[in-house]
Structure 1
Amino acid sequence: MSLNRKLISYGFTDLEKSRRFLDAPELQGLNDDDLFAGLAAAADPDLALQSFVRLLAGSRKAVLTAFADEGRRGPLFRLLGASEALGEFLMRRPEHLDVVRPGPATPAVVGPEHLRSELLLAVDADPSEDNPVAGVSGPDAYRRLRVTYRRHLTDLAVRDLGHCAPVDYLPVVARELADLATAALEASLAVARAELGETYGSDVVARVRLAVIAMGKCGARELNYISDVDVVYVVEGDDLDDTTVTRIGTGLASGMARGVYSAGPEPALWEVDANLRPEGKDGQLVRTLQSHVSYYERWAKTWEFQALLKARAAAGDPELGRRYEEAIAPFVWASSQREGFVEAVRAMRRRVTDNIPREEEARQLKLGPGGLRDVEFTVQLLQLVHGRLDESLRVRDTVTAIGALSAAGYVGRSDALDLDDAYRYLRVLEHRIQLVQMRRTHLMPEDESALRALARSSQGCLVTVRPSPQSLHDEWQRTRKLVRRLHESIFYRPLLINAATLRPEDVQLTAEAAQARLAALGYLDPRGAMRHIESLTGGLRRRAMLQRQLLPILLAWFADGVDPDAGLLGFRRLSESLGESHWYLGMLRDSNAAAERLCAVLSSSRFITDLLEVSPESTQWLGSDAALVPGTFDAQWQEIQSKMSRHPEPGEAIRLIRLIRRRELLRIAIADSSHLLSQAEVGEALADADRAAILGALHVAESQVFGQEEQLTHVVIMAMGRQGGREITYGSDADVLYVHRPLQGVDEAAAQQQAEAIVARLAALLTQPCKPPVLAERVLEIDAALRPEGKQGVMVRSLGSYREYYRRWSLVWEAQALLRARPLAGDDDVAAEFLQVIDAVRYPEELSETDVREIRRIKARVESERLPRGADPSRHLKLGRGALSDVEWLVQLLQLQHARAVPALRVQSTLAALDVIASEGLLPGEDVATLRESWNLATRIRAANVIWSGRGSDLLPSSRRDLEAVARWCGYGPDSGSDLEEDYLRMTRRSRAVFERHFYGY
């Protein structure tokens, strides 16, 4: 193999330069196999080779000792191939090559006390003292401090790069980096004490206590390899005037920062940033504890409390630091109750994104969409909102916080796992990028060779196949999309705003106080409500924890409904039915729409509550508008056919058909309650569900009958009444006509018997109890009372019989009823023939005055005889004055009079007919508008009666509570029952006047 091919196989990219280094005299005498074995471990073999040659040139003996040890060779080349800056440190300080040692299977963890001791000893300070003073000062102290710091940093990098799973080791690395930075601050502060002692006297300086409060990632013990260390200073003095305390405190803080960042023989470590202090850059560098407290009480902004979430006493006087932590904690955990808190945090996140230079946005690991800031802001917002009442969330670092949020149920398990994995992965990428030059950067490299090295160094020491730059890019993009999705779904979770405004007394009440609060909210049975709450929230299971979070908000939303007691009871039953279903409570937590919709229907609809109890899995529709789109007739019929093919047994087939209809009724009702459907769309969707069920039942009935005897006829079902007009509501009967046409050559009497057997079986199938019984089943009643001769006539007639009947004996009321006839189920050809038969009847050439008088006489008779005894005509929704019947009879009279000349009037829908009546000028436009408004309101109230009580009623409620419930469903606000009543009575009075003027002619 040629040298070039060998270099390529080992991952080299700059072949010419690497060949020159391989020819360097420093490598003479080294075993090539050992050399290439070491370079194979390096993420960037070009960099590793160059640094190795330069290292040999400076300290050959120490380097060869490490090279000769097979256990140390791999760690050495991994370090040199990942960090040019740490390689240069070893070139400057080869005596520290001993930190490159064989790594154990589980790398050691160096504790904070050990690091503090090491760095204090480096400046001759006593680690046992709370406020130690260095024995050296000036440049020599800074050099010793920085060299010791970098020795430990190099030791950590060797262990990190040698770990088989960097994402697992990431929290350990981040903690140790923060502890190392804290130790450097402590040692540098010891040097500052020594230097100020020379000016003010060591006794005076000792009387000034300074606490260094680490903020940001250092405060949370999740620091990067290179980062500004954010701090806040707290000062206090014994028996010293304020000016002296402030001057010395400022000197200590400035000296400490100088010790780690000023120019010197050993380069600076990182910048100490005190801009998070009160008033920022314009504020005093050091403040007393009382001054801090006063500022946070009066002047602090929302973002400052978010920053304080990470505050930790890191260096300096430990007792003062502890008091600072205790003093500011209440501000942190009460901050979410500030007006507009959640919105302010969200706005801050958007500003961070908006301020990214456009050319950097696509490369940002930290600030860009799907970056580390998305994770951190998401976690911190949840902590601040919920941590006020849940102390388990009061942790500083992001990884631990994600685990706490998951354990307490604020984030779903899978989302928390994804968030944790993504955060660790992005942090590992950030660490590897920073390690190269030990520069503060969060940008993904653009150079292909740098991307290749990054891909290799971030995978762990056990990966033998070098990942490609493209695979790294793809994984990073997948992670960004995942983080962005989680950020948007959790960070913008609407319930956060509600949770932020909860008071402690809303969720932490004694039994007596809780009952009083429930009563104040409107619960009629506070004791019963408490029993439900205790059942839902008792225990340590995850479901109970989630319900403890949700119930304070849900209880208030139930109270916004008409019957909060029923809402809470329904929620308990639903929760018990769904058991440990992972999606249910998570959906309510994450989706404001789902939670509000559920509370609204449970506290305002017996109909929907009953159906949800037996179909609890349907609750998942609440979180998605798309899931609430009613199924089309074609989709339902296709599903029914599939069910019948797999379950040919009639009892099981009809059970499944009825379950499909029940499911669609529930979907339509929820969509209706969520204002996703217009009233016309509700009627059409309900009609489609009935049509699919009747068609399925007809096929089942025919299969039973034809299974016992030869087919003799085709049966067709024609929809009539509101079913024909596709304007039905919940619980409506299906008005139908049965038609059959015998097959050619068969005995007509036998065909008639077969048709009667089919329709009898059809009705039985649709009304018989399901096995097993299904609660809340709304049986589809078939009503054939509009057939010729009414209830006295035969149930089903042949096509020829209908033709003859309508030719010889048809009455005008039957022509009126046929106006709404529409094919519902059965043979299309027979249905088309039947329509030809009835079109001449329902669209007559002329309507005689005798027929008009007869229609008027029948209408008056209906009003006097069919109105229930004792019913108030002004409140009856169907037969009352100006109600549904008045509008429909007037429309149908106009259709009988004009449909022959105006084909557009040949429609089954009342509303569609009104549109034509208005456009053709058959009635004045304002009269049509009045009829339409009255008809719509009466229809809506009829639907609301069923929805509210689970039972049909044709009366405008008189009970205040029932009236309130119906008003809510009709779109009125709270306490508007009387408004609905007044509107209905006024509207129907106007409608009645229009009806009488045009129907009776006066």
Structure 2
Amino acid sequence: MTADATLTSLLDAARARIGESREQSEPVWSQILAHSQVAETAPRVWACSEFIATSCSRNPSLLLALIENGRLLDRATSEWIAQDLVAHERGQSEAELMEALRHFRRRHMVRIAWRDIAGWADLDETLRDLSALADVCIQFAYDRMYAMLTARYGTPRGESSNDPQSMLILGMGKLGAHELNYSSDIDLVFLYPEEGQTDGARSVDNAEFFLRLGQKVTQLLSTQTVDGFVYRVDLRLRPFGDSGRVAMGFGAFEDYLQQHGRDWERYAYVKARAITAQEHFASLYDEVLRPFVFRRYLDFSVFESLRDMKAMIAREVERRELRDNIKLGPGGIREIEFIVQAFQLIRGGNDRRLQNRELRTVLPLLANQRLLGREIVSDLDAAYRFLRLAENRLQEWNDEQTHRLPTDDTAQTRFALSLGMADWSSAATKLTMHRERVARYFAQTVFGPAGSATDQPAPVAGFDLDAPAEDRERALNDFGLGNSPALAQALDQLRTSAYYRRLDDTGRRRLRAALSPVLQSIAKVEAPEVTFARIARILEMIGGRTVYLALLNENATALQRLVQLCSQSQFLADQIAAHPLLLDELIDERLIGEPPSRAQFAEDLEARRGALHGEDAERQVELLRNFQSAAIFRVAVADLTGHLPLMKVSDRLTDIAELIVEEALGLAWTQMTGKHGLPMCGDRPEELRPSSMIVVAYGKFGGLELGYSSDLDLVFLHDSVGEVQRTDGAQTLDNSVFFQRLAQRLVHLLTVHTAAGRLYEVDTRLRPGGNRGLLAQTLRSFREYEFQEAWTWEHQSLLRARAVAGNAGLRDAFEEARLEVLRNAVRRTDLRDEVRKMRARMRENLSKAGPGQVDLKQDAGGVADLEFLVQYWMLKWADRYPEIVIFSDNIRQLESLASGNLVPQSRVDFLVNTYRRYRERLHHLSLNGAKNVIADNEFVEERRGVVEIWAEVMGENL
């Protein structure tokens, strides 16, 4: 029989069956089929679900009731499902409760399957509906059995608190994630808060009470009766599995996880959710489950356990011939779950968004974090949805827990019909496509991309620090490093170091696995001894956090990049040693060869932003610091590998600072307004407007010339004016106090020391009045100060100022005020004398040069002289040529002077080239941790040229 004929036969048989049922219950079926939507979908639904056909033919009133209460045609809520159960409850005996639950379950399973097959519900609704149904049944069973047992034994009470004790039932697996499939077991764990006793006449201890309660709940749900069962209850995920206690106290549960918790249990508890006694779950999750499941460092060791679990499942698949199993077989649902959960365990400790239980919510986040390619995420999402749909349609046929694809022609055609596909060939082709993709992505994730893990041959030998000396020497010879006594000595020092002695067996195994490819790689660099010394320091700084070794072992590309970068730069090696989290950056394909951009940094910060919410203030700063370290590291790599020119380096470092200051301002604002409300201002109480604050950058930050270790010169201005100036929250503050505290809070966030270090040094002395002035001032008072009291050096500083964070309108207003001050407030009659005096004081007090040396910033002809020349010209001509002061960076200021024919182009070209060369040299000194001092035989012509220009322009010989 052809596929079309089989399909026609299935639908005809379903119609005939509906007709037979109608003959037996004509009045009821007349009402049912009066609903056109039901009548139209009934043949397909009955053809695809024997469970529905049997249930409705035996009891058509069940179907009619669902239609009449509107829940067959419309989406149901969990509240309505719970009300429906209570409404149909009959009696209080266990037998009566069992009967009510089973009838209730059948009614709603018919409803859910009909809506699914008819196409009235999408996958998300079906999975949530199934999960809500299970929740309601579990809660009902718990409530009734708890009441029954307390009537017999009294209420269980805590030993220390004497509070009534309830049982926390954890839903695990798909139930915990609100992703339950149609005919699924439910995985439960029973916990209770405190040991103690019940307060009844027949008192028992809490352990006994909750043991019996767990057993009663399980029996009520899983006992097979003439009406079937509600759910198969699986308790094997509880501590110690089948040999463990059915119900366990919180304290014993915590001890178990700390002492005996295994890697597979971390995967299991990713999806744990409280179904009953939810008031106890938040503290249990925060104090026990979250620290167990999600480590606060990158945990690439999960791949080791994942491979072990996958191998165990693969053996089971082969033993039970489950290759056609769409859950456990190759490319099945479990492999998608493993991929997502692996990344959750690796990075969830640093990003709470990944701690979500729902796979469909977490999967898109993996693309945003560059953990998986967007195409891969899209493919996995499509595969997951199709496989879960297929899973439900398989199980909806006869309400059986099956994941096997059908083998006979009729069943295959029926399955294709349930999926809305033309024939089995189409369905099989689509299944194969999705499963092959999943299998490929799973293999790449767990075992590494084929051929890309390394482009070099496998190590010719392992390197074991504990091996005899002659074996270590032989291994070094195999690597081509036998002629390096210094390297052999460094390895011996590593073997005898305190770091190595503290490593446990797992750590030593991971180090042994990493050393072979490290030694093989450093044999190819120019200075293997120096490179290894830098890597050894990184290993020692990693210490006992051997998950970072697992990262390198799991990603050979990252290990090779580590060797490459350590061979090129002490600065990069020091950065990784100080922040081992940067090892994660080595995985990113863009690290080598693609210069970073502001857009990339903004995207990265946006991805991390979700992790900031819900964290305490210190943790928020720590996460910002992690972002900063990673971003600066990317810039340094691009810089030292020649993919980013000097000016772009400063641009990117400035971009990073701007993003951080803006983010920190937002955090400070949220903290302050959450406590005090919004700052409002105006002349009349009924016409108040919100006021805001901006951050103004001066110096190198304002001039777009930040270096790797630059401070931030910041000024804070707000726009609160009027007769009324106060916040509108419960704890009201005068706006001047509010903005003062807001600025203080922002400075604290930027400068506080955390476990990851601090963000920046911040200097606020350039504000009006210096240290004597208010930390946050109004724009109006700022303008008045600049016109009436500011010194010439303050106007010089204003040339390099620009607003970098805060309200856009206020930032524009500041820029207007800045330009007005520079054009109209500068005292030009004695300008040259004032500039010379200030420069002389700096030269006398700030030079760090010794004999035979030159301070490239402060000595004659250096950076400061060049900058002062530019500032003098800018202030001198700003009133007549206002366009020259628009830009805040030296290069464009010089170019503006040339464009206006104020300074000869040849002179500007010389100064621009000299300035760039100076900055490049200072930049590399900074990268090597050196001061701004060079030998006096460097830049001789450049310094002489700047001195000559100074003498001509300023009338002073240096």
TM (norm. structure 2) is 0.47
Question: Computing the radius of gyration over CA atoms, which structure comes out larger, 1 or 2?
Answer: 1
TM (norm. structure 1) is 0.45
